[in-house]
Amino acid sequence: MAEHEEKAGESLMEKIVEKIHGDGSSLSSDSEDEKPLELKAKIYRLFGRERPVHQVFGGGKSADILLWRNKKISAGALGVATAIWVLFELMEYHLLTLICHGLILVLAVLFLWSKATTFINKSTPRLPEVSIPEEPLLQFASVIRLELNCSAATLREIASGRDLKKFLAIISGLWVLSIVGSWCNFLTLFYIVFVLLHTVPPIYEKYEDKVDPLAEKLTIEIKKQYAVFEEKVLNKIPKGLMKDKKH
- Name the DSSP letter for residue 123: P
What would the mean pLDDT of 62-85 be, rounded to a whole number?
Answer: 89
Phi, psi of 233 (to 5 degrees): -120, -60
The rounded distance, in Å, linking the Cα atoms of 195 and 19 is 66
Cβ 81 vs Cβ 195: under 8 Å: yes
Q: Would the pTM of this model clear 0.75, i.e. be above it?
A: no
Identity of residue 65: I
In this prediction, residue 27 has a pLDDT band, given cuts at 50, 70 and 90, of very low
Q: Is the pLDDT of residue 225 over 90?
A: no
Answer yes or no: are the C-beta atoms of 218 and 46 closer than 8 Å: no
pLDDT of 100 reads 92
Kindly indicate the confidence band of residue 238, based on its pLDDT and cuts at 50, 70 and 90.
low
CB 25 within 8 A of CB 34: no
Is 221 within 8 Å of 123 (Cβ atoms)? no
Q: What is the mean pLDDT of the chain?
A: 76
Judged against a pLDDT cut of 50, whether residue 136 lies above it is answered with yes
pLDDT of residue 239: 58
Q: How far is CA 30 from CA 18, 33, 41, 42, 66, in A?
A: 18, 5, 16, 19, 44
Residue 105: is its pLDDT beyond 90? yes
